Amino acid sequence: MNFTPLSRWLLALVTLPVSLQAMGQESERKGNLSAVSQVVSTTTIHALSNSYLSSMMGSMGVFRWRLGDASPAAPGGGGLAAAAEDSPWSLWATPVRSTFSNNILPITSQGAVTLAIGGIEYRDDGPWMGGITLSMDQLNANTQTLSASALTTAELSGNGYTLAPYLVYQMTPTRAFDMSIGAGRSTLDYVTASKSTKPVDHRRLASVGVTDIHDWGKMFIMLKASHSVTVDKIVASTGAEDDTMTRLNQTRVGAQLLYPGETFSPFIAHYRLFNRLHSSGGDTQPVEYNSTGQWQLGLNMSSGGFFGALVAQRERDRHQLRVYAGYRY
């Protein structure tokens, strides 16, 4: 069939909306969704480490002598709550609020993670302490996925939990080795301009670390080295072809300088991070720096059984602001 120039123009005009719609569908590239949800796993594993170490040695980084030692108190003064004198079992709880901004292309995100962590632990007169924690999490984030053809924006929210046992070996009153392993899941809502899905994040995490603290004039310096692994697998509601996975191996080595006070103890810290990221699924894969520095500026607070901290954390193209608060009895 031969078309006149006018008929060809009319045919193109009729099919233009269909062509534009197809182009729009092609341009909305799927990012690796687990790269965004992994912020819950990394925030959880660091909050857990801070929480159970504080339960043994003091309040959120304010280290103290072990309960029952005849030595005078180390930074922050005091020891565990008096209930620990009567029973080797104790309970603790910590809410954590962390706002974050990740500007590492091609998948960027901004939002907040809220955690409610509770733990039960056992400790007798020996150097070992162990327990188990339950962490409830809530995530709210805006994400951007940049591909060669388009920028896809989305909203991601979700609720979930992580169950994590831990074990700490206190070699001296100011030196400890800690380890933990955990697993959990979150149910997510993922909304873009063209669709809404409800994927599920299955997470696994593990960490080991060693902490040592020394006098430095009127201040204390805390040395810390740790290695953590977080694995997030997103099972999409639309089919296995949309499943994504990220695995982050991170080694962190550095020091924290603390000025102890009766109630408030400011600190500054610097760590070197060594990352190895593996990802699969999705059209666009996340990127992580192999090595980067991390600065922290914070304030620890402690009064009786109450403890807390405010921490501003910054590294290359990423920053967080975290607030801890809790009670131990």
Contacts of 283 (CB under 8 A, 6+ apart): 29, 30, 31, 147
Determine the pLDDT at residue 161: 98
Domain annotation covers residue 125? yes
Report yes or no on 12 lying in a domain: no
Q: Cβ neighbours of residue 188 under 8 Å, at least 6 residues apart?
A: 33, 37, 139, 156, 157, 158, 198, 199, 200, 201, 234
In a domain, 13, yes or no: no
Q: Is residue 1 part of a domain?
A: no
- Whole-prediction pTM value? 0.81
Q: Give the pLDDT confidence score for residue 81 in this predicted structure.
A: 39
- Please name every residue paired with 328 in a beta bridge, in sequence order, or none if there are none: 92
Query: Residue 84 domain-assigned?
Result: yes
In a domain, 34, yes or no: yes
One-letter amino acid of 72: P
CB atoms inside a 10 Å sphere around CB 105 = 13
The C-alpha atoms of residue 48 and residue 175 are separated, in whole angstroms, by: 18
- pLDDT at residue 291, rounded to an integer: 97
In the chain, the number of structural domains is 1
H/E stretch holding 24 reads: helix 5-27
Share of the chain above pLDDT 90, in %: 49
pLDDT of residue 274 exceeding 90: yes
The answer to whether residue 260 sits within a structural domain is yes
Domain harbouring 197, CATH code: 2.40.128.130
In a domain, 309, yes or no: yes
Give the CB-side neighbour count of residue 82, counting CA atoms within 13 A.
1
Listed in sequence order, the residues at least 6 apart from 197 whose beta carbon sits closer than 8 Å to its beta carbon are 189, 190, 236, 237, 238, 242
Range of the domain at 107: 29-328
Q: Which pLDDT score, from 0 to 100, does residue 246 have?
A: 96
DSSP conformation class of 73 = P
In this predicted model, what pLDDT tens digit does every residue of 141-172 receive, in sequence order? Answer: 999 998 777 888 999 999 999 999 999 998 88
